[in-house]
């Protein structure tokens, strides 16, 4: 039996997004549990599809005793403030030092954190953790598939293990896999050899989905190589919205044959470049197609990808909603529109009241503005419910005041309002206000890919929509400044000079 310190600090940073992640954002959690210190960490993540939950289960099953340090996550946004970083990382490292001696450290990290005062949030955290435990104690971290893995992260951790699915249905499973790697290291007292190789092109989020090509095949090949070579392999397509030198895709692995396995997988991902191309629809075109093809029982699902709160959007742009209303779509619903002021106004007005709203458009996104009009308040809620879809299963949501509005000029269009940022990736977000997504013809979601886990099974088809928002689907459209030179800004696209 070994003594293992457990902690976590997750943030996915879109450096081009409008709002930073301050300490309050980690207290709120954005759909994840709020910041946790010490023992309560265990109960906070238990039973949810969260990496730390999977790791804790696997470490306990292996008979180890666990010490909780700190765990925190926030909605993706612009940089983590220096204050939030120092407070959370400070607690994590201080509690780790209090817990010494330990035989191993497991960390639940995202891998794409940029701090207001430096670029590599995880590289710095791993440096501090390494400094605290010394060179001999193994440190293993699980990572999101959207990690922008840096050389510093690779050097300071003994192993990094990333998700293999997008939508991330394997978060807890990945935590468990990382825990088994750590367990093996503690038992054998040996460090596996590592291999790492970054790629020189970026890919937009919608084309990184593991349900579709080329990622579906890449992850299949990854598992085949892993088996054949007896290694642990990861492929991270990265988060192409973080302007720093090492942003992008990478392949890495551990084991005696790690270098050879990494080179093989790297070649496969390099060769897949043309197949990462994206098909995007304008909002008016997408709505037109959805109106024609959607049917009650088999809706067309529209992904408002560029305002995805899971990629740094505030979930309040109105481009797609405007197109739904202009074309008077029928049996249509859009969610979640994050607008606490409008949600409060709906609660003040009361059930069945028809009043003027100025919906969304509050993030100063180019090409976006509030949508003004009369809406009827059809339902209200307190934003408390538990998700049931394959990805967010067990997540206990606290989205604040929620309301279901119906447009007066386009009575077939309804909007689900929430007060706290969260990606629309679970049908319970609609059911909590009495909307059954399957009974709609058009379902518009502020999400890039995660929605597919719960919504694709009910969808006639999925269209990815390009409407105003800060999470640009084509990385070549961002004004990159710090990215390393020589990277193609989208598949086969322009080279960053």
Q: Which residues are near Zn ion by CB under 5 A?
A: 144, 146
Q: Whose Cβ is closer to Zn ion: residue 146's or residue 291's?
A: 146
> Which is closer to Zn ion, CB of 72 or CB of 371?
72
CB of 146 to Zn ion, least distance (A): 4
Q: Cβ-closest residue to Zn ion?
A: 146
* CA 19 from centre of chain: 16
Render 243-289 in DSSP notation, one character per residue.
-STT-S-EEEEESTTHHHHHHHHHHHHHHTGGGG----EEHHHHHHH
**Which one, 103 or 144, has the nearer CB to Zn ion?**
144
Tokens of 163: 């998700």
- Is 146 or 446 the residue whose CB approaches Zn ion more closely? 146
User: DSSP characters for 351-413?
Assistant: TT-EEEEEES--S--TT---EEEEEEEEEEE-SEEE--STTTTT-EEE--SEEEEEESSSTTE
Least distance from C-beta 37 to Zn ion, angstroms?
25
Pairwise CA distance, residues 146 & 12, whole Å:
8
User: Dihedral angle at the C-alpha atoms of 337, 52, 160, 204, nearest 10 degrees?
Assistant: -10
In angstroms, give the least distance from the CB of 353 to Zn ion: 39
Residue among 13 and 36 whose Cβ is closer to Zn ion: 13
CA 412 to chain centre: 31
**Would you call 493 helix, strand, or coil by DSSP?**
coil
What's the closest the beta carbon of residue 69 comes to Zn ion, in angstroms?
A: 23
User: Are 491 and 464 contacting, i.e. CB atoms less than 8 angstroms apart?
Assistant: no
- Looking at the Cβ atoms of 144 and 183, the one nearer to Zn ion is 144
- Which C-beta is closer to Zn ion: that of 124 or that of 144? 144
Helix axis angle for 171-188 and 51-61, nearest 10°, is 40
Q: What is the dihedral of CA 300, 306, 311, 314, to 10 degrees?
A: -100
Q: How far apart are CA 437 and CA 427, in angstroms?
A: 7
Between 76 and 360, CB nearer to Zn ion: 76
Q: Which two tokens stand for residue 57?
A: 């289960």
């Amino acid at each position: 039996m070994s003594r293992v310190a457990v902690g976590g600090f997750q943030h996915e940073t879109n450096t081009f997004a409008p709002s930073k992640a301050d300490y309050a954002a980690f207290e709120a959690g954005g759909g994840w549990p709020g910041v946790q210190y010490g023992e309560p960490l265990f109960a906070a993540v238990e039973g949810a599809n969260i990496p730390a939950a999977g790791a804790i289960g696997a470490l306990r099953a292996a008979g180890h005793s666990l010490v909780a340090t700190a765990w925190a996550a926030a909605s993706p946004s612009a940089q983590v403030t220096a204050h939030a970083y120092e407070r959370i990382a400070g607690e994590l490292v201080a509690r780790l030092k209090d817990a010494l001696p330990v035989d191993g450290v497991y960390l639940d990290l995202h891998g794409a954190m940029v701090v207001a005062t430096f670029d590599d949030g995880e590289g710095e955290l791993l440096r501090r953790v390494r400094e605290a435990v010394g060179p001999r104690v193994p440190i293993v971290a699980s990572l999101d598939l959207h990690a922008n893995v840096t050389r510093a992260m690779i050097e300071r951790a003994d192993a990094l293990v990333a998700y293999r699915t997008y939508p991330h249905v394997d978060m807890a499973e990945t935590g468990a896999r990382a825990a088994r790697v750590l367990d093996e290291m503690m038992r054998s007292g040996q460090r596996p050899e590592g291999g790492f190789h970054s790629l020189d092109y970026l890919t937009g989020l919608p084309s990184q989905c593991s349900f579709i090509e080329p990622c579906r095949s890449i992850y299949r090949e990854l598992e085949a190589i892993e088996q054949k070579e007896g290694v642990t392999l990861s492929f991270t397509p990265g988060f192409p919205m973080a302007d720093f030198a090492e942003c992008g895709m990478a392949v890495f692995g551990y084991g005696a044959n790690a270098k050879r396995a990494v080179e093989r997988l790297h070649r496969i991902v390099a060769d897949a470049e043309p197949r990462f191309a994206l098909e995007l629809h304008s909002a008016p075109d997408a709505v037109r197609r959805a109106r024609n093809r959607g049917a009650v029982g088999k809706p067309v699902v529209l992904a408002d990808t560029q305002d995805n709160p899971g990629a740094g959007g505030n979930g309040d742009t109105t481009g797609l909603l405007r197109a739904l209303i202009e074309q008077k779509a029928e049996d249509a619903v859009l969610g979640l529109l994050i607008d606490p002021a409008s949600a409060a106004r709906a609660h003040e007005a009361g059930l069945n009241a028809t009043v003027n709203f100025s919906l969304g458009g509050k993030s100063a996104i180019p090409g976006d503005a509030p949508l003004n009009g009369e809406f009827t308040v059809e339902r209200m809620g307190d934003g408390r419910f538990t998700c049931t879809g394959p990805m967010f299963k067990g997540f206990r949501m606290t989205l604040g005041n929620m309301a279901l509005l119906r447009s007066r000029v386009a009575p077939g269009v309804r909007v689900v309002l929430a007060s706290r940022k969260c990606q629309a990736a679970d049908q319970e977000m609609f059911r909590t206000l009495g909307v059954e997504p399957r009974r709609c013809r058009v379902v518009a979601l502020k999400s890039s890919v995660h929605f597919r886990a719960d919504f694709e099974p009910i969808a006639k088809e999925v269209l990815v929509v390009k409407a105003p928002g800060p999470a640009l689907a084509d990385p070549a459209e961002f004004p990159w400044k710090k990215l390393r030179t020589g990277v193609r800004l989208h598949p086969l696209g322009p080279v960053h000079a």
